[in-house]
Amino acid sequence: MTPFIFLDLDDTVFHSLRKAPTGKVLKAAAHTRDGRVVSFFSEQQLAFLELMQGHMKVIVTTARNSDALSRVRFRFDGVAIVSYGGLILDEGGNPDACWSDRIATQLEAQGDDLPDLFDHLESCARALDPGLRVQIVVDHELALYVVVKHRDADNLSLSRFSHDVVMGSELIRCKYRVHLNDNNLAILPRWLDKAHAVRYLQGIYRQQHADAVFFGMGDSLSDRDYLQLCDYALIPSGSQLHRSVFSKGLSDV
């Protein structure tokens, strides 16, 4: 058996301090560009990550772009899916040329509405709540999607913005998918999905390894589609996806 695991990072193998497990020894997991540590491993999470690294071929599968991935304080030597599947990086950190050609074709077909969408959302955010921050995620000079966060992690404000502004846009309803998880609101082109990149890599790995077995691990509803492509799915307890799947408690059974 040749085991592969498609592994999400944030809220799967590490957390922000606000969401980190209480009463646990924490270790730095990721930092900002200015060196400030913003994500943390528990000892158990780090041990599990090292276990996977030692026994499986780990393919990072993350919404982080290449720069944000480089600021994770754990060495991943394998292929990585970044920016929600907008790029696939080889072991040397270089974009997979074939996949990048596919994405370039999709971007060309989409047109140039992302900057206008950004301007609209930023203007509305300034008017509604100055704590809202709107950003276009760019990776290797490709403008891929929009993300909105709240400076003070005010989830209620972000949820209202999603409902009143984002879902009120006809352009977004027609051409984009909207995903809200805690303090992260992503507005994604419909063709941009981790699952597409996972399927592409699985095709390559099946040709190389007749005995390939695929595991997937992720915390978010946006991870569900690529987890369904895998032979086995792992879901962190207490995560958004875990709550969705196991919404019925034992007392209700």
**Which tens digits make up the pLDDT trace of 140-150?**
999 999 999 99
Which residue, 202, 223, 244, 190, is CA-closest to 79? 202
Question: Do 26 and 85 share a structural domain?
Answer: yes
Choosing from 189, 215, 231, the residue where a domain stops is 189
Q: What CATH code is carried by the domain that includes residue 134? A: 3.30.70
Whether residue 44 sits in one domain with residue 163: no
The verdict on 223 and 98 lying in the same domain is yes
**φ and ψ of 125, to 5 deg:** -65, -45
First to last CA, the chain: 37
Instruction: Examine the domain organization and report whether 51 and 140 are in the same domain.
Output: no
Are 174 and 131 part of one and the same domain? yes
Based on the structure, what is the number of domains in the chain? 2
CA 4, 6, 12, 16 dihedral sign is positive
Shared domain for 207 and 94, answered yes or no, is: yes
96 and 27 both lie in a single domain: yes
| 39 domain residue, yes or no | yes
- Is the residue at 36 inside a domain? yes
141, 169, 189 - which closes a domain: 189
pLDDT digits (tens, 9 = 90+) for 63-117: 999 999 999 999 998 999 999 999 999 999 999 999 999 999 999 998 889 999 9
**Residue 251 within any structural domain of the chain:** no
Distance CA 9, CA 15 (A): 9
Say yes or no: 129 and 63 in one domain: no
Q: Is residue 209 part of a domain?
A: yes
Same domain, 97 and 135: no
Whether residue 253 is contained in a domain is answered as: no
Question: Of 160, 189, 218, which marks where a domain is finished?
Answer: 189
How would you write the pLDDT of the chain (253 residues) with one tens digit per residue? Answer: 999 999 999 999 999 999 988 888 999 999 999 999 999 999 999 999 999 999 999 999 999 999 999 999 999 989 999 999 999 999 999 999 999 999 999 999 988 899 999 999 999 999 999 999 999 999 999 999 999 999 999 999 999 999 999 999 988 999 999 999 999 999 999 999 999 999 999 999 999 999 999 999 999 999 999 999 999 999 999 999 999 988 755 444 4
Give residue for tokens 């086995």: 232
**Cα–Cα dist 49/177, whole Å:** 30
Residue 181 domain boundaries: 109-189
Q: Answer whether residue 181 is part of any domain.
A: yes
Please indicate, yes or no, whether residues 142 and 222 belong to a single structural domain of this protein: no
Residues 100 and 200 in one domain: yes
Burial class (CB within 10 angstroms; exposed 0-12, middle 13-18, buried 19+) of 16: middle
Q: What is the CATH number of the domain that holds 27?
A: 3.40.50.1000
